[in-house]
Amino acid sequence: MNLPYPIAIGHGMLDRLPDVLQQIARGNRVALISDHNVAKRYGARVARLLGLAAFDRFTIPSGERHKTRATWAKLTDQLLAHGFGRDTTVVALGGGVVGDLAGFVAATYMRGVPVVQVPTSLLAMVDASIGGKTGVDTRAGKNLVGAFHQPAAVVVDPDFLVTLPRAHLSAGFAEIVKHGVVADAGYFEVAQDFARIWPAPRAALPDLQSLVTRSIGIKASIVARDEREGGVRKVLNFGHTIAHAVELATRFRVLHGHAVAIGMVVEARIGERLGVTARGTARTIADVCALAGLPTALPAVPIAGLVKFTRSDKKTRGGKVEYALPKQIGDMAGGDSGWAIPVEDTIVREVLSKKTT
């Protein structure tokens, strides 16, 4: 997939994890990092696969609000206390929070050790585990402290999705929709067709695996062209400026993928308001999200607070917040301006003030 590390995808792939580690980290000591929910269900199985002792396993509380510098410090202190050295390989077993946090631990521990991403949520499979973004949240905003640290390998096993709560399945589907919007109109139509059977997604896991594979391919190809987000990788931020503001304004009561669905609709409307985005694009995105049970309307939070949070985002330049905006489904605007378009707060406030459905 044009990336300098292997991405293994397929049912039963978890059982191949020891082979992956043998190839990339022969003889290294393994530190398994997970959250309480995932560790309860899969931790013992993975520990047996890898031959890990109890002191090789580390768990964190579940949820975005625990993706903090304090949790990062606790994990690194525990690694030091148990004598993990520079020959350590971190295995991140979990969703996006675990992947981001364990990746940041790996990026900073002993000035950098390898990390293998084993995503257990749909969102982490199609997005968070690919591309090397790691970090933690602060009171000022999401992911404001972090590092680019590419994984040594990514192991994607769709069998994890069988036990994934429905809300988290839909949250991951938002990123699938995003990949269609930013890069592939045909893929967007495939996702749209899949959304129509969303009331019974587990019955369509084989089809979902094909979506996962295509989404990973889309993101991998963009990241391969721009690893550190200096140009075209910015298109992957579509929906995320508003999404991060929604998450912060609700104190993370809204799942990230649900916030992304809302953010895509709002940001497409911003693009339509600017004349950058084709009319009807926001409606098309909203319809697909609604089919998959995703929210498309803003929660009951103050508009002024949302605008304030957008300004604390990493995408602010020269006093203006920059947005990744589509021209139309499958084609992004801003190719002549670094793939990001500065937008005045007054326009953002105007669009936010209009009711979304």
SS3 222: helix
* 244 is annotated as an active-site residue: yes
Which residue in 214, 234, 240, 258 is the catalytic one?
240
- Residue type at 61 in one-letter notation: P
Q: Does the annotation count 175 as an active-site position?
A: yes
Is-catalytic flag, 82?
no
Catalytic residue among 219, 234, 258, 269: 219
Is 66 designated active site? no
Q: Which amino acid is at 308?
A: K
**What is the DSSP annotation of 272-314?**
HHHT-S-TTHHHHHHHHHHHTT---S--S--HHHHHHHHHTST
Catalytic residue among 57, 67, 133, 179: 133
256 is annotated as an active-site residue: yes
CB atoms within 10 A of CB 220: 18
Active site residue 149: no
- Between CA 170 and CA 66 the distance in angstroms is 22
Catalytic residue among 57, 66, 178, 244: 244
Q: Which of 214, 237, 267, 272 is catalytic?
A: 237
Q: Which of 179, 256, 269, 315 is catalytic?
A: 256
64 part of the active site: no
Choose the catalytic residue: 57, 178, 214, 233.
233
Known active-site residue 258: no
- Catalytic option among 28, 64, 142, 175: 175
> CA geometry: angle at 320 spanning 318 and 324, to 5°?
115
| CB burial of residue 297 (10 Å; 0-12, 13-18, 19+) | middle
Q: How do strand 88-94 and strand 115-119 relate by DSSP bridges?
A: parallel
26, 111, 251, 355: the catalytic one is: 111
Q: Which of 229, 247, 267, 322 is catalytic?
A: 229
Q: Which residues are catalytic?
A: 111, 133, 175, 219, 229, 233, 237, 240, 244, 256
